Amino acid sequence: MADGDKLKESSYRYGVNPFLWVIPLVLSGIGILMITSTTSPNSFLSTGTPFQMGMKQFQWLVIAITGMVTIYLIPLNFWYKHSGKLLVITWLMSWLPIIPGIGASVGGARRWIQIPGLSISIQPGELLCLAMALHLAKLFSREDKDPLKAFIAVITLMVIAVVPLLSQPDLGTTILIFLISMGMYVERVGWRLPIICGGIGILSLSPILIFGEAYRMRRVSAFLDPWSDPLDTGFQAIQGLIAFSNGGFWGTGMGHGFQKLNYLPAAYTDFIYAAIGEELGFAGTAGVLFLFGFWVTQVRGIYYKSDDVFKSALTWGVVLTVILPLAINVAGVTKMLPLTGMPLPFISYGGTSLLTMWSRVGLLMRLEKECSLEDV
């Protein structure tokens, strides 16, 4: 073999697949453009520049990429050793939003920690999801293969983890942690217990969780029939559907959307997928889903590359923490599920979400590097 071929093979074998970070970078770029577009009218009126929110998201992207590089440089053994401590820390942080003077209330929910002296807020629930995936990967890597013991351990851990989230209340992140936990159990152990116990739990707890809060009832009502109250409970869902309708196949064009003019609430956060549908059309929304799908195919190679249980379980868990929020957000915006307030990964405005998503990219890059070294 020629020296050039050897060098190429060595680079491919020990390097990192560039698609692992290039695709998230493209998605984040789309997010910055759409955030700028959807916020430009109000931003110009309040600050004199249409680029304020887009520039803030760009600053968060720089911080997030720096965090990704930092996490990539940390050996996986560190996360294995300290996963329990990280879970406890993030769990304790999840109690802070409900403390007066520390937590910030938005829309009746206290899910954010306000940093004193800075116009920055952190959502600890985002950190808790990633910490759960890390610790569950460690849990499944242990030698005990008894399905019942593993299931009890997962359920116990999950129930304890969501207590502060339900106190905020944050049902969306609670559901996400449940799905991540069950998804990781199914991948490692099997379907039987999650289907049986999950079905019983959903039937018994759903009425309590839904009817226990008035705002959840409003969301269910809007999901079932938004046209029954088009100016209140059904307003956001209807405006999202109108945005998709306005966009057609090719969209109205970047910056030419109409719904962002105070018609579509949360157009740059939870409903940014609808804003993409209006300005970039079906082609744009399908393109976003294609990018996520292609990214998953690249991560799939890491999953099959290692025989180490911790690494394969962590890869699966990290993918779930990205794909499940994507599915929940898209399903909510397109009225296939009730709204949960879940941001669109890499695209929606929000520093904590962007930072934790890029942290996942750094973990996956480290996983690929260490899995490649196993073959040496």
Distance of CA 89 to the CA centre of its chain: 20
pLDDT of amino acid 12: 44
d(C-alpha 177, C-alpha 95), whole Å:
16
DSSP state of 105: E
Helix, strand, coil shares of the chain as percentages rounded to 5?
70, 5, 25
Q: Whole-angstrom Cα distance, residue 354 to residue 351? A: 5
Q: What is the pLDDT of residue 364?
A: 96
**pLDDT band, very low/low/confident/very high, at 208 (cuts 50, 70, 90):** low
Give the pLDDT confidence of 113-162 residue by residue, as tens digits: 877 766 677 889 999 999 999 999 999 988 666 888 889 999 999 999 99
Domain ranges of the chain: 18-374
What is the rounded CA–CA span in Å between residue 66 and residue 71?
Answer: 9
Asked if pLDDT for residue 74 goes beyond 60, the answer is yes
3-state SS assignment for residue 17: coil
Return d(Cα 162, Cα 311) in angstroms, integer.
Answer: 25
Average pLDDT, the chain: 86
In angstroms, what CA-CA distances link 6 with 10, 13, 247, 255? 6, 10, 50, 48
> What digits encode the pLDDT tens for the residues 280-289?
999 999 999 9
Q: In this predicted structure, what is the pLDDT of residue 374?
A: 64
What's the rounded mean pLDDT across residues 188-204? Answer: 79
Write out pLDDT tens, residues 287-301: 999 999 999 999 998
The number of C-alpha atoms within 13 Å of 157 and in the hemisphere containing its C-beta is: 27
Average pLDDT over residues 329-357: 91
Q: Rounded mean pLDDT of 220-234?
A: 79
Helix (H) or strand (E) holding 114: strand 109-114
Put simply, whether the predicted model's pTM sits higher than 0.85 gets the answer: yes
Whole-number pLDDT of residue 210: 63
Q: Are 70 and 362 in contact (CB under 8 A)?
A: yes
- Residue 242, classified by CB atoms within 10 Å of its CB into exposed (0-12), middle (13-18) or buried (19+), is middle
Residue 23 neighbours by CB distance under 10 Å: 21
Look-up of token digits 């490692």: 188
Q: Is pLDDT of 42 > 70?
A: yes
Pick 302 or 14 by higher pLDDT: 302
Least confident segment among 28-37, 192-201, 287-296, 344-353: 192-201
What are the residues whose beta carbons fall under 8 Å from the beta carbon of 357, sequence distance 6 or more? 24, 64, 322, 345, 346
CA 91/CA 87 separation, integer angstroms: 6
